[in-house]
Amino acid sequence: MRSSSLTLGLLATLLPTTLSQSTPAPIVTGNPQGAQYIATLPNNASLPNGTFIITSASDGNGVYVQVNVANLPASGGPFLYHIHLNRIDSSGNCSTAGSHLDPYNGTEAFVCDDANPQMCQVGDLSGKHGGIANGTNYTVSYVDQYLSTQPGTPAFFGNRSIVVHFANKTSLTCANFTMPAGGGGSGYGSGNGGAASTVVIPVAGSSAGGAAATVTNLQTVTA
Ligand SMILES: [Cu+2]
């Protein structure tokens, strides 16, 4: 009997440590129908160009990702691409994107294994779905279950950026996500201009996002 209360005390002291470690990303449900964000790479003859289009999955569980990139270098791949936390500022410098979208503390050191995508950084799209081989054009589409199109939730990416890197992680090019003009039909006020540093939150019917946000706050304390 005495030892059981001792054990409880030990567990209590260990718990905070456990929480600071990487936790599996939950599958996102309830993404609003038709919500879509596009990152269009800048036009530069010496850099890759193209688009990353991410739309709510038709069943609301995660998103549908469409990658269409051209003019890729002949060497230096496989190229990586991630969703980064910050928007690229007016300088256009990809370093202003900051770190990766990683609300559940997948670490940089952790090797993202596509067999266990829930353990990868949420923003590590090439880690979960494959990098881009050397060459001129790359087109792929897939469902990612861990991204959210619901503003205010931990895995929301619509106010963030995408960065394409060489295999050695040097940045190649980058772009901010914006809402396509007239897309979605949810009453977004702004077009796809550059000034949108904040995203107007459309009031969708579902309120499913609230609980998950609380969990993230807990985890970021002990990163
Ligand atoms: Cu990156």
Q: What distance in Å separates the CA atoms of residue 57 and residue 123, rounded to the nearest whole number? A: 17
Closest CA to 145 of 120, 163, 162: 120
Distance from Cα 172 to the centre of ligand 1, integer Å: 10
Distance from Cα 216 to the centre of ligand 1, integer Å: 21
Q: What is the pLDDT of residues 154-196, one digit of tens each?
A: 999 999 999 999 999 999 999 999 998 765 444 333 333 333 3
Contact 129, 79 (CB under 8 A): no
The reply to whether ipTM tops 0.90 is: yes
Q: Torsion over CA of 73, 77, 81 and 85, rounded to 10 degrees?
A: -100
Q: What is the pLDDT of residues 4-52, one digit of tens each?
A: 444 444 444 444 444 446 789 999 999 999 999 999 999 999 999 999 9
Distance from Cα 126 to the centre of ligand 1, integer Å: 9
Distance from Cα 101 to the centre of ligand 1, integer Å: 9
Cβ count near 192 (within 10 Å): 17
Sketch out the chain's domains with CATH numbers: 22-220 (2.60.40.200)
